[in-house]
Amino acid sequence: MFRTYAVPAFTLTAIGLVSSLGHAVEPQAAMNIELGLWEVTTAAAASGAPAIPEAVLQRMTPEQQAKMQQVMAQRLQGQPQKFKECMTAEKRSQGFGNKDDDSSKCKLTITTNTPTEFQAERQCAASAGGPALSDYKMHFNITGKHHASGTIDVAITHEDGKVTTVHSTVEAQWLASDCGSVKNIEMEK
C-alpha cells in the first residue's frame, strides 16, 4: 500500500511505494491496519536534475516527450494524486512491498516495524533503462486501524551522475472492508 506514482516507471511506481527483498524471505510487517478499500493521497515535489534523463527522452517521439513531460510536471509539483487501493493480507504482510519491479537489485533495511510505525530504507542498483542508483527512505505512522500517513524520500542518481530528489507525502484513509470493483490500485480521474 501507499505506493507513490510521482516518479516514472523506471524508478518505482511509486509508489510505489515501495520495498521488497527479491526472493528472500521477508519479515512480516507489524502494521495494525484494516484490510479492505483505502483511499490514498500522495503529493510529490522534485528538485535537482530533471526526473526524465536526457537519454530516455531521446528515445521518444516528440509527442511522447511532450506527454511525458506534461505528466511529470503535474505529478512532481506537489499536486495531490488520489487513488484507491485494495489492501489484502498479503500486501499488508509485505510491509509496503512492490513485487512488480526487479527487486533482486534492491536491498531493503527495515529500521522500525511496529503496529504504529514502519520505517525503512531501500537501495536499488542500476537496471536496464533505469537510473544508476535509487535510494528510498520511507517513514509511516499508523494512527489507528483506519488511518496512516508518512513520507517517502527518493534520491535518484542517473547514469550521468546527476541526482533527482523527490519528496512525497502520503495520507491514507480506510473506506470499507469490501473493495468492490477495485482489485489492486485504481487512480482517481
pLDDT the model gives residue 137: 95
In a domain, residue 114? The reply is yes
Mean pLDDT split into 10-residue runs, the chain, 189 residues: 35 32 46 91 87 78 84 74 91 60 74 90 77 87 94 89 91 96 88
Quick one: pLDDT at residue 79?
A: 79
Given the DSSP bridges, would you call strands 185-187 and 163-176 parallel, antiparallel or unpaired? unpaired
Contact 16, 153 (CB under 8 A): no
Domain ranges, residue 177: 36-187
Residue 112 lies in a domain: yes
Number of structural domains in the chain = 1
Residue 119 phi, psi (nearest 5):
-135, 135
The pLDDT value recorded for residue 30 is 73
User: Is 99 domain-assigned?
Assistant: yes
- In contact, 92 and 33? CB cutoff 8 Å: yes
Residue from 113, 189, 142 nearest 34 by CA: 142
